[in-house]
Structures are given as C-alpha cells and as structure tokens.
Amino acid sequence: MNILNLKGIINNLHMTGLGAPFLVLLMLVMMVLPIPTLGLDLLFTFNIALSLIVLLVTVYSTRPLEFSSFPTVLLVATMLRLSLNIASTRVVLLEGHTGTASAGQVIESFGSFVIGGNYAVGFVVFAILVIINFVVVTKGAGRVSEVSARFVLDAMPGKQMAIDADLNAGLVDQDEARTRREDIAKEADFYGSMDGASKFVKGDAIAGLLILFINIIGGLAVGVGQHDLSFAEAGTNYTLLTIGDGLVAQIPSLLLSMGTAVIVTRVSSAEDMGEQISIQLFKDPRAIIITAALIGLLGIVPGMPNLVFLSLALMLGVYAYYSRNSFEQNLETVEEVAPAPEKKKELSWDDVQTADILGLEVGFGLIPLVDVRQGGKLPDRIKAVRRKLTEDLGFLIHSVHIRDNLDLPPTRYRISILGVTEGEADLYPDKEMAIGTGVESSALQGTVTKDPAYGMDAVWIRVDQRDYAQSLGYTVVDPGTVIATHMSKLLTQHAGSLLGHEEVQALLDSLSKSAPRLVEDLVPKMLPLPTVVKVLQNLLDEGIPIRDMRSIAETLAEQGTHTQNAEELTAAVRVALRRQITGQLASFEDTLPVITLDSELESLCLNSVNAETSGGLGIEPGLAERLYQSLADSVQRQEINGEPAVLLVNPKLRPWLAGMVRHTIPLLKVLAYNEISETKRLKVIANIGGEATA
C-alpha cells in the first residue's frame, strides 16, 4: 500500500508540473533543516538509484537527442548530491562523537563494510575514485563535449545546405525538411549544453575532495575540542564517517560522469550501445581466434596462472568456432543473394509527371532574383502580376512553379504554359534595361537588346546610368520587372488556355451563391459544361474579360434554346457585353474612331465566307496582301495618334477577319456592327478599299 501511495504521489507531481519545484524545495530543506538518519538513508539510496537510471538510459539511447534533457538532469542530480553532502556533514559533526552509526546505516556500511573499517584503506579507495572520476572520465568527457560542440556548430551550414538541396531535388518534402532542420538546431543546442554541463561534473569531483578534508578537520576539532574525545577516538569516528559519506557521494558522481562520457561519445545508430558494441566488436571471428591463440600460448608458459589462461582461451576458442560458422553462413547467403539482379519496379501512373500549368525556370546566375533568403523580390512581383490579372480577366490565375534549371545558360530564364515554352530571354542581373523611345544617344553605353515582352529596342545599362537614361526619355526597369512584365504579357495572351473545366466550375459555383436558379437552369440542363468552357475561352482569346459572369450566363441560357454551337454563342455573348467591349477601347470618350471596309470589298468577303466550307476566308492572295497592308498602315497611324485601332465589319465577317489579324496585327480590334454600345458615336477614320475619310 505504501508503494502504491508513493507511486500515486509521484504521478500527481508529474501531472501537475510540481516535480521540479518539489526537488528545489527538497534541496533547500536538506541545506537548511536537520535531516533524521532514516531520511538520509532514503535520500542516499535514491541518489544512487537515480545515477544508475541516468547511466542506463544513456546506454540504451540510440541517439544522443533521445536524452536531450540530460544536461538539466545532470545539474539537478549534482545539486541534489551536494545538498546531501551538506545534510550529512551536519549530522556527522553534530552526532559523530556517539559512534559510527550516528549518520545512518548507509554511511556506516560504506565506512565499515566497504573499506573494512580501516580509514587508511578508505583514504586510498577514495583517492583512487577521485582520480578515476576527475583525471580520466570527467576530463575526457569535457574534452569530447567541447570538440563535439565546435564540430556540430561548424557543420550546421553544410547540413542546412544539404537539406535545401534535397528539398529542391524533390527527395524530401517540406515537413521532412522542417523536421531535419529542427533536429540540427536541437543537436547544436544539446552539444552546446553538454559542453557546459561537463563543467558540473568536474566541479563536483573537486568539491567532493575538498568536502572530505574539511569534514575530517572539522570532525577532529569538534570531537577533541567540544566532546573531550581523545585524538585517536575522534580520528576513528569522524574519519570513518567522513570517508563513508564521501564514498556514498563519489560513487553516484562517478556513475553520472560515465553517463556523460557515454552520451557525448555516442554515434547515432539504429541500435543501443550494447547491440552496437557487440555487433561491431565480435562480428569478425578472426580477432577472437587470434586472441584465444595468444592467451593459450601464455597459459602454457611455466610460472603463469595456467588454469585461468587456458580456461579463458578455451572459452574464446569455442565462441570463435560457433561465430565462424555463423559468419560463413552469412557470407554464403550474401553470395547467393548478390548475383540475383534487383527487380526493377514496375511502372505505374504515379511515375507519370504532369506538366506545370505555369512554370518559370531560371539559370544559375538568376537564382538570387527568386531566392527570398537572398533578397529576391521576383516571387512577390509574380504574385502581384497574378493578382492583377485575376482582377482584370475575371478568373483565378494559377500559381507559378519557380525552379532552377542547370541546363539553361546562367543568365537565361524560360516561361512555360502547360509544359510548352512560350518565352525565354537572357538577363543581366547586375544591370538594368533602358527601353528606347526613339531617342538616339551615343552617350548611353551598354548592351543593345530587345524588350522580351513587346520587342521594343532596349539597352542593358549600369545601375549608375539610370538617372541619365531617364533624363533622355528612356524607361528604365530592373531584371525582375523584365521577367514580371514578360510573364504578364504571355499570361494575357494565353488566358484562354489557362481556363479549364475546373476553373469554369468554380466560377459557376461562385455565381450560384447570388443566382442559384440561373446556374441550375444553365448547366447541365441547357448547355453542357464543355460548351460553356469553349465560349469563355473564345472571349479570353479575343481579349474580353469574363468578370461579368452573370450577363454571360444569362445570355447563354437565353440563346441555348436556339443553338449549342460555341461560335454562335460567343457572338451572342459579345453583343451582350458590347458596353464592356467598347468601354475598353474608349471608356471616357463619346466618339469611337473606326476603320471600315469598302462596300464592294465587304460584299466580296461575305460571298467568300458563305461559299467557303473549310472554315476560312477564301479571297485572292494578292487582295489579301493589300488588305493586310492597308490595315497595318491604318493601325500604325492610330498608334502614332494615341487612339485605338478598331475595324468595324459585318457580324458574319467578324470572326474570320478577327482570326486572320489576331497574331499578325495584334493591336487591331475587329468588332461587328451590333457590338458597338448605343452610347458611342462612330467616327470613320479610314475606309479600306475606297477613299479614306476624315
């Protein structure tokens, strides 16, 4: 019952977090208040048991970090033992004149039984224990702790780089990398703490030696001066008690010193120390055979303890015989298994790598631009580009997968969409790009290039030339802005490719929160989801945002009863979005300048579209070339005047002409008559195929 009660008290202290305060209070009590002899016996026994537990835990730990609290435990155990020394010294000096049993049975047993009641023997035994503890174990453990702490701290940057390399190579995930970084930090903290904790053990050994001599001198003074004992009687009583007290304290100190030495000399392994030593020390029977032979030779030498040597040689020989058979069997097993080729893992769908929707690859020299730890701001700029395009286009732009590519030249970057390279260029990370404005200046020295986004003339200049270039009218941007602008242009150009079924479903789910009946009637009752996706992709390909999903859905629901052709539905949606379309071209202007086709030319094109069954505009090549050239000239004039270039044509002709000029004359917007907002007045600035009008 008493044992169960004690266990319950310990559990309660552990659960309430009062264990550490209780030990501190116990130390103060031992230092200040007198402790009865029974209490001393219990505390000394507990001290020895605690030291054994600590030593065995260090032996059975497979990694030093498994006992990361060892430095704190070492400090607590050391202070507990020193507090016991103070309590036992008080009892020895107060009650030592009554005999060797005055300080409890534990001290008496170590003073009488262990050293045979001979204090001279006790001195020698105590001195040997101190030498072993202080000169050998403690000094060696302190040196190992110091060197280990230094090596662990020196190796931290390399280990961190190795983790980053494995993470970038995909060998580990973020969680495992975070765990390994935490282990490295804990390892550095542990060995740094052990470097300081080893000083506790060293100081404890010195303190034990000093306490011994102080107690003997004090005991002789008290016994002879206060209790009128003879010098011999006082020497016998107090010396035996002091040596017993010293041995009781020094043995746990030696155990803790061994524990310190074991844990700082451990190498992380899957086995505990016993398994590790037995496997590594006795795995090769040849060493045991040679040892048995040498011991046997010494055993037959006359004058040697023949029985002991020959018996040990026989035991080693028997062990080596059985170990050799086991070793040869293991070798045969390895030889049988080794020639068999390793079976290659069968391919599965897990081995299929999907293409990144958006990817940015950079050469080695551009890594500082994308590495946040090196001050790279490009990831933040790309996030800003995605946020801006998401607001402008009306759907969520996917995140960009940024990675380094050692196959690229050091200063080159590559932008890919759906796994296809859409743009790449070379950068000078230590320079800036000055984009030309038609001003010629020989004083602006640098590397002539082209703006990768829009193909404008540019020059790579030094950073200190920025102000001078700006004074000449150049637009100066840093390398990160060059990449962000290029990516923005490509994402806008390929917005239709970025919109898929998942994105459209997300848009419909969002719309269903405000117009649930509209979405329910549209998909899939009226139109299948792929048709809606195709219509939205057509709008994005023609530069029309899809922010107004309500108007788009209402138009599709209305027109879906007449047709399910994606091109016809797109034309209907464009008419519904005519205010948005014309607002993009001339938002605050009442007049919209337009380019028209001559009536004869438009009729010819209409007849060609109606007669052509292959889906193209079948007109004479010479006429098509003159049409292209006239449109290009008109667009150039509009660009110089700072006005939009709009070609106004028949609704049936608009899709074909828009497809023809989309990539060759990207600044030209082709609109149908019914796509012009009622609030806009038209101003014809050119008539292709006839006389131009002002």
Q: What is the pLDDT of residues 96-110, one digit of tens each?
A: 666 656 666 777 666
Please report the pLDDT score of residue 617 as a whole number: 59
Please measure the distance between the N-terminal and C-terminal CA atoms of the chain and give it in whole angstroms: 112
Please report the pLDDT score of residue 6 as a whole number: 46
CB 415 within 8 A of CB 424: yes
Whether domain 588-694 has CATH 3.40.50.12790: the reply is yes
Digit-coded pLDDT (tens) for 642-680: 888 999 999 988 988 888 888 888 889 999 999 998 888
CA pair distance 492, 548, nearest whole angstrom: 18
Digit-coded pLDDT (tens) for 368-381: 899 888 888 899 99
Please report the pLDDT score of residue 97 as a whole number: 67
Task: Calculate what percentage of the chain has a pLDDT beyond 90.
Answer: 27
Q: Which long-range contacts (CB under 8 A, 24 or more apart) does 26-34 make?
A: 26/80, 26/83, 27/79, 27/80, 27/83, 30/83, 30/84, 30/86, 30/87, 31/83, 31/86, 31/87, 34/87, 34/90, 34/91, 34/94
CA pair distance 421, 418, nearest whole angstrom: 8
Using DSSP's 3-state secondary structure scheme, residue 164 falls into helix
Segments in 513-565 forming alpha helices (H): 516-520, 529-541, 549-559
CA pair distance 672, 651, nearest whole angstrom: 5
Query: What average pLDDT does the chain have?
Result: 78
Higher pLDDT among residues 1 and 68, named by residue: 68
Segments in 513-620 forming alpha helices (H): 516-520, 529-541, 549-559, 566-576, 578-585, 599-611
Among 316-320, 382-386, 617-621, 649-653, which is the least confidently predicted range?
A: 617-621
Please report the pLDDT score of residue 321 as a whole number: 75
Nearest to 382 by CA among 486, 476, 453: 486
CA pair distance 510, 444, nearest whole angstrom: 53
Q: Please tell me what DSSP assigns to residue 405.
A: -
Please report the pLDDT score of residue 530 as a whole number: 93
Is the C-alpha dihedral spanning 451, 456, 459, 462 positive or negative?
Answer: negative
Supply the pTM of this predicted model: 0.52
Q: If you compute the radius of gyration of the chain from its CA atoms, what whole number of angstroms results?
A: 45
Q: HSE of 208 in the Cβ direction (CA atoms, 13 Å)?
A: 31
Among 68-72, 133-137, 212-216, 661-665, which is the least confidently predicted range?
A: 133-137
CB 592 within 8 A of CB 646: yes
Please report the pLDDT score of residue 417 as a whole number: 94
Among 145-149, 187-191, 690-694, which is the least confidently predicted range?
A: 690-694
Higher pLDDT among residues 320 and 455, named by residue: 455
Please report the pLDDT score of residue 3 as a whole number: 45
Higher pLDDT among residues 674 and 184, named by residue: 674
CB 496 within 8 A of CB 393: no
CB 488 within 8 A of CB 389: yes
Q: Which residues contact 284 (CB under 8 A, 6 or more apart)?
A: 327
**DSSP-assigned letters across all residues of 244-282:** HHHHHHHHHHHHHHHHHHHHHS----SS-HHHHHHHHHH
- Arithmetic mean of pLDDT, 428-449: 78
Architecture of domain 358-497: 3-Layer(aba) Sandwich (3.40)
Using DSSP's 3-state secondary structure scheme, residue 86 falls into helix
- With 70 as the cut, is the pLDDT of residue 340 above it? no
| C-alpha to C-alpha distances, 139 to 135, 198, 587, nearest whole angstrom | 6, 9, 85
Q: Kindly state the tokens that stand for 503.
A: 């994105």
> Do the first three CATH levels of 358-497 and 499-576 match, i.e. the same topology?
no
Pairing of strands 457-461, 432-435: antiparallel
Among 218-232, 323-337, 402-416, 471-485, which is the least confidently predicted range?
A: 323-337
Please report the pLDDT score of residue 660 as a whole number: 84
- Arithmetic mean of pLDDT, 207-226: 75
Please report the pLDDT score of residue 334 as a whole number: 43
As separate numbers, helices (DSSP H) first and strands (DSSP E) second, the chain gives: 26, 12
CA pair distance 138, 607, nearest whole angstrom: 103
Q: Kindly state the tokens that stand for 119.
A: 């204090």
Nearest to 248 by CA among 408, 78, 84: 84
Using DSSP's 3-state secondary structure scheme, residue 460 falls into strand
Please report the pLDDT score of residue 427 as a whole number: 93
- Arithmetic mean of pLDDT, 221-239: 72
Please report the pLDDT score of residue 671 as a whole number: 93
Please report the pLDDT score of residue 1 as a whole number: 40
Please report the pLDDT score of residue 440 as a whole number: 53
Local confidence band at 338 (pLDDT 50, 70, 90 cut-offs) = very low
Give per-residue burial for 446-482: e unless 16+ CB within 10 Å, then b. Answer: beebebbbeeeebbbbeeebbebbeeeebebbbbbbb
Q: Which residues contact 174 (CB under 8 A, 6 or more apart)?
A: 167
- Arithmetic mean of pLDDT, 386-409: 92
- The domain segmentation of the chain, as residue ranges, is 1-26, 34-275, 283-331, 358-497, 499-576, 588-694
Q: Please tell me what DSSP assigns to residue 117.
A: T
- With 80 as the cut, is the pLDDT of residue 330 above it? no
Cα torsion 520, 525, 531, 535 to 10°: value is: -50
| C-alpha to C-alpha distances, 186 to 66, 69, 180, 181, 549, nearest whole angstrom | 11, 11, 10, 9, 54
Strand partners, 362: 404, 413
CB atoms within 10 A of CB 209: 18
| C-alpha to C-alpha distances, 21 to 10, 24, 48, nearest whole angstrom | 13, 5, 21
Q: What are phi and psi of 450, to 5 degrees?
A: -125, 140
Please report the pLDDT score of residue 240 as a whole number: 72
Task: Calculate what percentage of the chain has a pLDDT beyond 70.
Answer: 75
Digit-coded pLDDT (tens) for 590-640: 888 999 998 888 888 888 877 654 455 567 778 888 888 889 899 888 888
CA pair distance 255, 376, nearest whole angstrom: 54
CA angle 298, 299, 302 (to 5 degrees): 90
Strand partners, 593: 683
Local confidence band at 39 (pLDDT 50, 70, 90 cut-offs) = confident
Angle of helix 37-60 relative to helix 231-264, nearest 10 degrees, comes to 20
CB 473 within 8 A of CB 457: no
Q: Cβ-count burial of 423 within 10 angstroms (0-12 exposed, 13-18 middle, 19+ buried)?
A: middle
499-576 homologous superfamily:
FHIPEP family, domain 3 (1.10.8.540)
Please report the pLDDT score of residue 436 as a whole number: 79
- With 60 as the cut, is the pLDDT of residue 19 above it? no
Cis status, amide bond into 516, omega within 30 of 0? no
- Arithmetic mean of pLDDT, 199-224: 74
CA pair distance 309, 291, nearest whole angstrom: 11
Q: Kindly state the tokens that stand for 300.
A: 């037959």
Local confidence band at 4 (pLDDT 50, 70, 90 cut-offs) = very low
